[in-house]
Chains A and B, each alone.
Chain A
Amino acid sequence: MNDQRLIQRDATMSETKISARGVNVYYGDTHAIKDVDVDIRDRMVTAFIGPSGCGKSTFLRCINRMNDTIESCRVEGKITIDDEDIYDRKVDPVQLRAKVGMVFQKPNPFPKSIYDNVAYGPRIHGLARNKAELDEIVESALKRAAIWKEVKDRLSAPGTGLSGGQQQRLCIARAVATAPEVLLMDEPCSALDPIATAQVEELIDELRQNFSVVIVTHSMQQAARVSQRTAFFHLGHLVEFGETGEIFTNPKDKRTESYITGRIG
């Protein structure tokens, strides 16, 4: 790990995009997230790290209300995006999810063509008025996801026929195509080999220019490589949150230090 590089990062010049206050999440009787406050800044990569079962994925899924699909799940507290409470009664989660895109742990392209995978979001949200516009959206999304060169000649081939790394980048393209403002990534590299991981990480760094990216990761190296700010979760608590360089080189909490040095986790 190059510590020098970490410290040099500029992570202060940005405004708050997502803000969570007193968030508690329960799965039935299990208290999964305990009183979490966090501010996620715009145009920046925020990493959630922590041992398995610490609630980082759960918290991530609160941001686009994917937890609504789980029957026993209950969310308390307040999460705002651009100062709007996303758990307000008036908010339609479908509209929210168009604004907050998500990339999942396992690449999950639709069993359709590469083109249709990317075009699906824009189609259902009516982002394109005609075929030419849709083509344009698909092309730019695939370019942003750094997969255009590999697939431009076989857009009608099934998305499931791509390699794991390509599939994950296709999923990123699919998420990007709906023009979201926030991109949530739930361990996007855990099913990928090192080369594909490097490609996706590079991509995440580029996506920062247009989106607020929140990434959950098991790999501390990955968090250090791609993020500007890091949150450390432990047993449902947000233990420490700050600039990535600060967390990795000078953790304030004993537990963070233990985790980073490999004593717990």
Chain B
Amino acid sequence: MTDATAEGPRPARAHHGSLLVKDARTKARNAAETRFRLYGAIAVGIAVVALVGLLSSILYNGASAFRQTFITLNVYLDPDVLDKNGNRNVEEISKVSTFGYAPLIEAAFETAFENPEIGIEGVTASDAEDLISKEAAAQLRRYVLANPGEIGQTVEFEFLANGRIDGYYKGRVTMQSAERDSNVSPEQLQLADQLKAAGLLSTHFNWDFLTLADASENRPEAAGLGVAIIGSLYMMLVVLVLSLPIGVATSIYLEEFAPKNWFTDIIEVNIANLAAVPSIVFGILGLAIFINFAGLPQSAPIVGGLVLTLMTLPTIIIATRASLKAVPPSIRDAALGVGASKMQSVFHHVLPLAMPGILTGTIIGLAQALGETAPLLLIGMVAFVRDFPAAPPEGLFDPAAALPVQVYNWTQRADPAFTERASGAIIVLLVFLLFMNAVAILLRRRFERRW
């Protein structure tokens, strides 16, 4: 070996200059590196600016959705209107529709006008009633039906203010715009200011936004996310219950047990393809199979859940297979070496080690499903739903809305008050997603083990 190299001509000794002076190549190399770092920093900067811009715009538009203007009134529950026979029979009381309650509110305003500081010329009690949400009569009626014993007494109520009045205190409505607006007059706004000065009108946190059902076009102030949140939770429940076991079982079988042949190759390629299928295609599939063929009800969380399960499965399968692959083969050898069966080695050793990855994949899949809109539009989840679905499992078949669809729905409506609510709904959706990601990180930390 050494003989061969000794015979050849010696290469000329390379001449290096001083180490204190950078040569041209080194300079060029360093410059390239500096440029690359700069590109990287710029890219990250753009991403951060975009994210901050997006979040701040949503927060700016949506944060006010969580606060709402309320008007406090003392309402005399007039027995002559509510209970003509005077026997406090709930069935008879319930015959009085919400239209019957409107005069009570009007009367309550008349009482309020007895205060010398309240009252604008030209604004009657009937005009003043428009300050209050159309929802107020229903609220009053619910209260009376629940407490029929209080008929004949004067009870203090906190009513939602009309969307325009609410908008006035959120800067959406001004005196100038009120002049051109058929729904609200500057005088009404002045009255609202007086009510505020008298302490009858206040703006505070509004739980109803999270608990109430959607409301119709002309009462944005009463629209809430309750049904949408429940619908989304139900769907996530269906997705989790179906896609986690199916996805994990599929991955374990494909990764650890299935023979490697053309058939499993085809399955593998198709799973990868399925992950790239546009979500609306799954919606059409759901419409054709679950609703038209299987006859499941429209707008039901069960159908939404099934469609989203189909969508989530590839994500979970791919994540699970990746984390199964990442378990070192030495662990499998060790288990097989002490005489564990294939299944024991997988379930006792490989699966626990893959667990953090599986859970992370599942939660990311769920988060994706939570924000998915397109397939839900096709299976009728876009419908206007006022009634809360029952508790599961029956409730899974009741009509419900979903958070992203509710956002889509509200952005379609004309009243600008709905823009604020759509942004508010996006905030709720983002909070859910953040929560899920936090859980994913937490679970990964908890289950992560070194080997």
Contact = CB atoms under 8 A, between A and B. Distances in A.
Interface string B337-356: 11111001000110001000
B339 A178 contact: yes
Interface stretch (A42-50, A106-114, A199-207, A229-237): A106-114
A111 B451 contact: yes
Interface string B320-342: 00000000101111111111110
Contact of A69 (B328, B336, B449): B336
A146 interface: no
A110 B334 contact: yes
A66 B336 contact: yes
Interface string A91-133: 0001101100111101011110000000011001100000000
Interface residues of A, number: 28
B260 interface: yes
Nearest to A94: B341
B330 A97 contact: no
A29 interface: no
Contact of A98 (B334, B335, B339, B353): B339
A64 interface: yes
A175 interface: yes
Contacts of A140: none
A37 B349 CA distance: 36
A104 B338 contact: no
**Interface residue SS majority, chain B:** helix
B331 A110 contact: yes
Contact of B337 (A71, A102, A106): A102
A171 B334 contact: yes
A111 B353 contact: yes
B339 A104 contact: no
B339 A95 contact: yes
Contacts of A64: 337
B16 interface: no
B332 A160 contact: no
Interface in A16-50: none
B284 to A, nearest CB: 39
Contacts of A71: 259-260
Interface in A223-242: none
Given A69-B332, A106-B330, A111 B337 contact: no
A124 B334 contact: no
Contacts of B341: 94
Given A124-B344, A160-B450, A109 B336 contact: no
A111 B339 contact: no
A56 interface: no
Nearest to A117: B334
Interface in A40-91: 64, 66, 69, 71
A106 B333 CA distance: 11
Most chain A CB within a 10 A radius of its CB, from B260, B338, B341, B348: B338
A160 B338 contact: no
A176 to B, nearest CB: 10
A79 B251 CA distance: 35
A175 B340 contact: no
Contact of A110 (B259, B260, B336, B349): B349
Given A64-B337, A94-B339, A178-B338, A120 B332 contact: no
A108 B338 contact: no
Contacts of A177: 338
A101 B348 contact: no
A159 B141 CA distance: 68
A121 B353 contact: no
Contact of A66 (B330, B331, B337, B449): B337
A104 B330 contact: yes
A174 B339 CA distance: 11
A158 B330 CA distance: 17
B451 A120 contact: no
Contacts of B348: 120, 124
Nearest to B343: A94
B339 A125 contact: yes
A97 B339 contact: yes
B334 A104 contact: yes
Interface string B418-449: 00000000000000000000000000000001
A93 B344 CA distance: 14
A111 B333 contact: no
Given A120-B348, A124-B344, A160-B451, A108 B339 contact: no
Nearest to A69: B336
Contacts of A178: 338-339
Contacts of A110: 331, 334-335, 349
A97 B330 CA distance: 16
18 contacts: A66-B336, A71-B260, A97-B339, A98-B339, A102-B333, A102-B337, A106-B330, A108-B330, A108-B331, A108-B333, A120-B335, A120-B340, A125-B339, A158-B449, A160-B451, A171-B334, A174-B334, A178-B338
Given A97-B336, A120-B348, A174-B334, 10 more contacts: A101-B337, A104-B334, A108-B334, A110-B335, A121-B338, A121-B339, A124-B340, A125-B339, A158-B450, A160-B449
